[in-house]
Amino acid sequence: MKLVVVSAGLSSPSSTRLLADRLTAATTERVDAEVEVIELRDLATEIAQHFVTGFPPARLAAALDAVAAADGLIAVTPVFAASYSGLFKSFFDVIDKDALTGKPVLVAATGGTARHSLVTEHALRPLFTYLRALVLPTAVYAASEDWGEDGLATRIERAGHELARYMAPARTAGPDVDTTAAIAPRSLTGAITSVDPDSAFGTNLVPFEQRLAALRAE
């Protein structure tokens, strides 16, 4: 298993990288994976060159290949002007359009104020849904005042465990745990799209029209 972490923090050290590292630790608690971290600030020049020339320099090409080959992806950006940073967007602008199809992606962001907490929903989630990735239900936003709070630690743990489950559902469940829900067919937004007709849930499914008729008869 391979886990790739993309961090768009600009400073060193940065809260963006710190959040990325904590999410990585929460994920690898549950799944045995080789981890590769991509610091976008180290690739800023190469990304700009790719836009101008149409060809990625060697370091950028290696990073793009790593993302495409990953079994799971953690993507973390600082908030700039109420959205993801330009460097973060530029990296995913040059990635192959099919590289993230069906890949589980954990999105996260950092910012100076809680007012930007919905950036994961109005900016990050639509971006990766457009790229046909499987964006995990739990996204993590960390404002300056969140560090050291139990709430942030809880969200990090939940998000990391979700990513581990989607990367390897059979490996992360216990021996007596039914993994059907973890591996049921899903749409790109995570919704279950079909149900096994032989399952207990499938056999007890009552059509909506029948339920409606029963209500009218009462």
Enter the pTM of the model: 0.77
pLDDT of residue 190: 38
Q: Are 84 and 8 within 8 A, CB to CB? A: yes
| Cα three-residue angle 119-135-152, rounded to 5 degrees | 55
Give residue 216's pLDDT: 72
The whole-number pLDDT of residue 156 equals: 96
Distance CA 32, CA 94 (A): 29
- Rounded CA-CA distance 193/198 in Å is 16
CA 180 from chain centre, in angstroms, equals 21
Residue with tokens 């399952």: 199
158: its two tokens: 């939940």
pLDDT at 210 (0 to 100): 74
Each residue's pLDDT tens digit in the chain (218 positions)? 999 999 999 988 899 999 999 999 999 999 999 999 999 999 999 999 999 999 999 999 999 999 999 999 999 999 999 899 999 999 999 999 999 999 999 999 999 888 899 999 999 999 999 999 999 999 999 998 889 888 999 999 999 999 999 998 645 444 444 433 333 333 333 333 334 444 444 445 667 777 777 777 76
From the list 21, 74, 63, 25, the residue with the least C-alpha distance to 41 is 63
